[in-house]
Structure 1
Amino acid sequence: MKGEPSCPRCGARVRPPGLFSAAWQCDLHGPVPPLQPVVPPSVEALEVVVRRSRVPVWLPWPLPPGWLFTGVAHAGDDRSGPRAVAVACTGPAPLGGPGELVLVAEEIGIGLGARYAGLPGPDPGTELVDGGHAPAKVLAAGRPTALWCVPGAPADRAVYAGEAMGLWLWAVLWPGKAGHLVYDDLELSDLRESKVELDNLPCGALSPKLSG
């Protein structure tokens, strides 16, 4: 994924549009919105994604104490704009030790959230959201939003997914015990609509999870 667009589902190099196709192509997954190379976290890089995004750009706001913004990744090209956006944050986990959080908003079928979740994807599936009581809830753009625990994820992380603003919302946390963060009245702001003053956003080093 370094230096050139890749498939949001598998990370393989993708072929640009050409004479016979107007879409970017993955040899395994066919037409995909290209996942753009990740750049070091900065307010300027985040603002570029926010201005062009077709999907929410979720950020915990206010950030939990001690947490930092550690990068943004997006899938889409100059024509479509971002159709999937992942925002990474890093800080002290609720039960001790360092924690990492990647929030993904995406259209159906893209698979970026499933990739970070370590799942085949591309989507968590309707059986998830039809499966009864949701164990976690967050406030997403001021709306109570249910999150379900996604089964089958690797043991090193906790994965939650739900629907917000008609799109998938994934919350992937490392290590698994950091998943308690979504039970702590987490508030998410869509940076396209919110009045978060990004000039005051604390930035850390680029999260390695975005390039994983």
Structure 2
Amino acid sequence: MRGEPSCPKCGGRVRAPGLFADTWQCDVHGTVHPVQPVIPPSVEALGVVVHRTQVPVWMPWPLPIGWLFTGVASAGDDRSGGRGSVVACSGPGPLGGMGEMILVAEELGVGLGARYAGIDGPDPGSYMNVEKPPQAKVLAAGRPTPLWHVSGTPDDRAVFAGEALGMWLWAVMWPEQSGLLMYDELVLTDLRDAGAELELVPCGALSPRLLEP
């Protein structure tokens, strides 16, 4: 995902709109909203995504103690605006060691969250049992938001998904034990509403999970 736009579903190369198609095209997945190249985390990079997106840009705020913002990515182009957003954060895991979290907000069918979750997707519906009570809850933009465990994911991560502000919300955590963070009722802020507080976000090194989930 570094250097040039890529497919949100597989990370493969995409073709820009041209004579034969007015949308971005992946050879495998057809029409897609391209993921823009990932750049090192900074308040400026975060601001670019926040100002062009059409979907929420979620971040735990305040961040858990010792955690840092470690990257941002978006799916979409200048014409469509951002149709999916990804925010990475890293810090001390609840059981020791380092934990990593990726939060994805996206429109139906974009497929970015499923890629980080490690499932076929593009949406989590068939991997969640919403007839059972939710396994986690977060406060997203001030609203209690239930999240369900996503099944069928690789053993190295914990994945939860639900709906917030009319969009899919995915939470993907490495290692799997870091999923315990989701039982603490995290407070998620849509950074589009953060205003001047955006300048206060502490930045760390770029998370490799953004590049190779």
Matched, 1:53 2:53: yes
CA-CA distance at 1:48 after TM superposition = 0.7
Matched with 2:173 is 173
Q: Does 1:188 align with 2:188?
A: yes
CA offset at residue 132 of structure 1?
1.9
Give the drift of 1:125.
1.0
TM-superposition CA deviations, 1:134-171 (whole Å, max 9, x none): 01000000100000000000000000000001110000
Equivalent residue of 2:199, what SS?
helix
Measure, in 2, the Cα distance between the counterparts of 1:126 and 1:192.
30
CA-to-aligned-CA distance 1:166-197 (integer Å, 9 cap, x gap) = 11000000000000011112000001123461
Cα deviations across residues 51-91 of structure 1 (Å, max 9, x unaligned)? Answer: 11100000100000000000001000010111000000000
2:140 aligns to what? Answer: 140
Q: TM-score, normalised by structure 1?
A: 0.97
Unpaired runs of 5+ residues, structure 2, are none
Letter of the structure 1 residue corresponding to residue 140 of structure 2: A
Which residue of structure 2 lines up, in the alignment, with residue 31 of structure 1?
A: 31
Alpha carbons 1:138, 1:145 under 8 Å: kept = yes
- Corresponding residue number in structure 1 for 2:118: 118
The residue that corresponds to 2:153 in the other structure is: 153
The amino acid of 2:42's aligned partner reads S
Q: Match for 2:100: what amino acid? A: E
Structure 2 counterpart of 1:69: 69
SS in 2 for 1:115: helix
Question: Partner residue of 1:4?
Answer: 4
CA–CA separation in structure 1 for the residues paired with 2:53 and 2:10:
22
Give the Cα separation in 2 of the matches to 1:42 and 1:163. Answer: 28
TM-score (norm 2): 0.97
Q: How many residues align?
A: 212
What is aligned with 1:16?
Answer: 16
Distance 1:75 1:200 in 2: 25
Q: Structure 1 unaligned segments of length 5 or more: list them.
A: none
Provide the C-alpha distance between the structure 2 equivalents of 1:81 and 1:38, rounded to a whole number of angstroms.
16
Q: Percent of pairs identical after alignment?
A: 67
